[in-house]
Amino acid sequence: ARSHSIAVLPGDGIGPEVVAEAVKVLDAVTRPAGVTLEKTSYPLGAEHWLETGEVLNEDTMERLRSHDAILFGAVGAAPNDKRIPSGILERDLLLKLRFGFDHYINLRPAVLYPGATSPLSDPGEIDFVVVREGTEGLYAGNGGTLRTGTEHEIATEVSVNTAHGVRRLVRYAFDLANSRTRKRLTLVHKHNVLVNAGRLYQRTVDELGEQYPDVTVDYMHIDAATIFMTTDPARFDVIVTDNLFGDILTDQAGAVTGGIGLAPSGNINADRIAPSMFEPVHGSAPDIAGTGTAQPTAAILAGAMMLQHLGHPDLAEQVNAAVRADLEANGSAQRSTSQVGDDVVAQLGARSV
C-alpha cells in the first residue's frame, strides 16, 4: 500500500523527544517516494494518568487496533516520582499493548555500526538479532502476594510458557536464522534450574531444528550468555530466548553495540491480526529528559523496522543507510537530539541525489 495509518504514542520522558526525530526522518524518506503515513497521536502516559486516573481504556485500545502500525516512544516515571507507582504505566500501557495485540515476537537487532563506539576494546563485527518472546514468561502477570506487608509475606510471579507460544517463537527464529548468512541459532535459557520451561524450549528447538538442516543450533545458559555478550558478542547470529532473559540481554546488547540510544525493537504480531508496534529498546530516561541530549537513533531505526513491516524494505534500507552514514560521519560526538534527526535527514537527501 502507498498509504498507512500510524498510531504515534510518544509517552513519557525522552519518549516524545526521540519520537519527534523518528517522525521527522519517516516523513523525509516517505514523501519523495509517494508513500503517505497518516499519523494519529495518542497522548498516553504519566501525565494522562495523573490527569484522568486512566492508563489505557478499552475504547482507546480499539481505536489503536484500527491502525496499520504503532510507533511508540517510552513510558515510565522517574524512580523518585512518588506520585506514580512503579509498574502502572509499564504494565497497563506497554504490556497491555504487547499482550492485547499478541506481539509474540519481540525483535531486537544488535548491530555495531562503523562510527559507533563500543565499550569493548576489540568488539569485532557485531550483527545479531535477539528474538525475544513477547507475551508469556514471567511477564504474564501471574502471581500475587500472601500476608502482604507482614514479615511472613510471600510474593510470587509465575512464569507461563505454552507449547503454542514457544513453538511460534522458535519457528520465527529458525526462519530468520535460515535467511541469514551464518545461519546460527542460539537458544538462551536456564534449563539447568528452570527445568519445566527450559525443557519445553529445548524440546521445541530440537524438534523444529530437524526441519532446518542448514541452521547450526547451540544452547547457552543465560548467565554464560552475559559473559559471551561481553567477551565475544560477534559470535552471535540469532538468539531465541524468553521474555525476561531477552529483556536483560538486549540492554546488554545495546551497551556493547555503542549504547542503548542506538537499539531499536519491533513488537510483532507475525500473523498480522493486529497492528505491530515499533519502539526503541530504552525507556523514558528520566535522568536526561528535557535536556535535549537523548539519542534519537534507536527510535529512528525502529521507524525503519516499521517501514520494513509495512512492506517498504527499500525505504527501510534508505533509513538504515542514512543512520550508518550519520554515525560514520559524526561518531559519538555529542549532538542535540534534533541535530541528530536533522543530520540523518541530510544523509537521506545526500544519498538520493
Q: Let me know if 39 is a catalytic residue.
A: no
Distance CA 10, CA 14 (A): 9
188 forms part of the interface with ligand IPM (CB under 6 A): no
The letter for the amino acid at 163 is A
Residue 269 CB, nearest approach to ligand NAD (Å): 17
CB 70 within 8 A of CB 278: yes
Q: Let me know if 212 is a catalytic residue.
A: no
Q: Which is nearer to ligand IPM, 29 or 305 (CB)?
A: 305
Choosing from 127, 247, 326, 343, the catalytic residue is 247
Residue 55: CB atoms within 10 A of its CB come to 20
Contact residues for ligand NAD, defined by CB under 6 A: 14, 18, 74-77, 90, 94, 260-261, 279, 282-288, 294-295, 298
Long-range contacts of 92-96 (CB under 8 A, 24+ apart): 92/55, 92/56, 93/11, 93/44, 93/45, 93/55, 93/56, 95/139, 95/141, 96/55, 96/56, 96/61
Distance CA 214, CA 325 (A): 33
DSSP string for residues in 234-270: GG-SEEEE-HHHHHHHHHHHHHHTT-GGG-EEEEE-T
Residue 277 CB, nearest approach to ligand IPM (Å): 10
- What does 95 interact with, of ligand IPM, Mn ion, ligand NAD, none (CB < 5 to 8 A by kind)? ligand IPM
Please give the grid coordinates belonging to residue 336: 542535540
CB 130 within 8 A of CB 90: no
279 forms part of the interface with Mn ion (CB under 5 A): no
Options 88-96, 163-171, 291-299, 321-329: segment touching ligand IPM (CB under 6 A):
88-96
Residue 296 CB, nearest approach to ligand NAD (Å): 7
256 forms part of the interface with ligand IPM (CB under 6 A): no
Q: Which is nearer to ligand IPM, 263 or 325 (CB)?
A: 263
Choosing from 190, 201, 242, 326, the catalytic residue is 190
Distance CA 265, CA 213 (A): 28
Q: Let me know if 172 is a catalytic residue.
A: no
102 forms part of the interface with Mn ion (CB under 5 A): no
Q: Which is nearer to ligand IPM, 71 or 208 (CB)?
A: 71
Of 9, 26, 94, 327, the residue at the interface with ligand IPM (CB under 6 A) is 94
68 forms part of the interface with ligand IPM (CB under 6 A): no
**Residue 303 phi/psi, 5° resolution?**
-60, -40
95 forms part of the interface with ligand IPM (CB under 6 A): yes
Residue recorded with cell 504505566: 89
What is the sign, positive or negative, of the torsion defined by CA atoms of 253, 258, 259, 260? negative
DSSP string for residues in 144-193: EEESTTSTT-EEEEEEE--HHHHHHHHHHHHHHHHHSSS-EEEEEE-TTT
Choosing from 206, 218, 223, 314, the catalytic residue is 223
What are the angstrom distances between the C-alpha of 11 and each of 76, 97, 107, 134, 169? Answer: 8, 13, 21, 20, 28
The letter for the amino acid at 135 is T
Residue 94 CB, nearest approach to ligand IPM (Å): 5
3-class secondary-structure state, position 309: helix
Shortest-Cβ-distance residue relative to ligand IPM: 90
Residue 11 CB, nearest approach to ligand NAD (Å): 6
Total binding residues toward Mn ion, as defined by CB under 5 A: 1
Q: Which is nearer to Mn ion, 217 or 277 (CB)?
A: 277
Of residues 241-270, which lie at the interface with Mn ion (CB under 5 A)?
247
Q: Which is nearer to ligand NAD, 26 or 200 (CB)?
A: 26
Give residues in contact with ligand IPM (CB under 6 A).
Answer: 76, 90, 94-95, 247, 281, 283
Kindly list the catalytic residues. 139, 190, 223, 247, 251
Give residues in contact with Mn ion (CB under 5 A).
Answer: 247
